[in-house]
Amino acid sequence: DAKTTQPPSMDCAEGRAANLPCNHSTISGNEYVYWYRQIHSQGPQYIIHGLKNNETNEMASLIITEDRKSSTLILPHATLRDTAVYYCIVRVARSSGSARQLTFGSGTQLTVLP
């Protein structure tokens, strides 16, 4: 699986958009970009994933560059409860039906400030 690079920490004002970048310059054509977050002392929570098109769901938007070498997770209106470590993971979605583990990097500690 391709390696990802994220800034170690970011701050965001409550109510503003939080834009979390991720570099994955060695991504392969069949690898997806997944985003998970981990609130302190809890298990990771799935946020969103995408292949090459931009994606949006009720939690966030995912913007993937045309060359797919980087992406940005956008939380449109950050709240205090969005304070967490955000992990960007690149991985093949499935491999002939077999399960693939997620390899977590260091992630970005997002702190939403009141």
Report the residue number, 67 or 96, with the smaller CB distance to other proteins: 96
The residues of the shown chain that bind other proteins, judged by CB under 8 A, are: 34, 38, 41-46, 48-49, 87, 93-94, 97-99, 101-107
Closest CA to 109 of 82, 84, 87: 84
Report the residue number, 27 or 47, with the smaller CB distance to other proteins: 47
**Shortest separation between residue 104's beta carbon and other proteins, angstroms:** 4
**Shortest separation between residue 114's beta carbon and other proteins, angstroms:** 24
R_g of the chain computed on alpha carbons: 14
* Strands of the chain, DSSP E: 9-13, 18-23, 31-38, 45-50, 55-56, 61-64, 70-75, 84-92, 108-113
8 Å CB contact between 89 and 4: yes
Report the residue number, 92 or 113, with the smaller CB distance to other proteins: 92
**Shortest separation between residue 10's beta carbon and other proteins, angstroms:** 17
